[in-house]
Amino acid sequence: MKKLLLLAAIALLPCLAMAQTETAADAQTTVNAPAEEYCIISTHKGIFERTICIDVDRGQGPEVDKRLRDNSGREMRFNNLADALNYMAQNGWLYVNTIKKTNADDPDYLMRRIVTINKPVELKSR
């Protein structure tokens, strides 16, 4: 009798057990997380030019064209450094520091801005 009862319990056990299911509280989702993006801008101008151009280095590597361009692909020109920094500020960039290189006359400028990224977050149930 004990064997029959044990056999019945073992046979019904898979029917009574709940399988693991993923609930909405346990699922992974993405949230907009703030992050900082940095760039280094350097200025340059031609010999007989009155306006300046800036290069924006976001750490892409040496093979990438770093010149700041408008929507039509033309190189943007600024009256002076203040004009270029104001343009960068209008696009969300904040001045951080000046970087003086030993072999160059003009310093570089470190800038940053806050961006939001989609970051996967695991939500835990209570």
Q: Give the tens place of pLDDT for each residue, 61-84.
A: 888 888 889 899 899 999 999 999
- Residue 29 or 93, more confident: 93
HEC sequence for the chain: CHHHHHHHHHHHHHHHCCCCCCCCCCCEEEEEEEEEEEEEEEEECCCCCCCEEEEEECCCCCCCCCECECCCCCECCECCHHHHHHHHHHCCCEEEEEECCCCCCCCEEEEEEEEEEEEEEECCCC
Percent of the chain with pLDDT over 90: 32
Q: Predicted confidence band at 35 (pLDDT cuts at 50, 70, 90)?
A: confident
Please report, for the chain, the start and end positions of each structural domain, with discontinuous segments joined by +.
Answer: 34-122
Residue 29 reports pLDDT greater than 70: no
Q: Return the pLDDT at 97.
A: 93
Q: What is the average per-residue pLDDT within 43-48?
A: 84
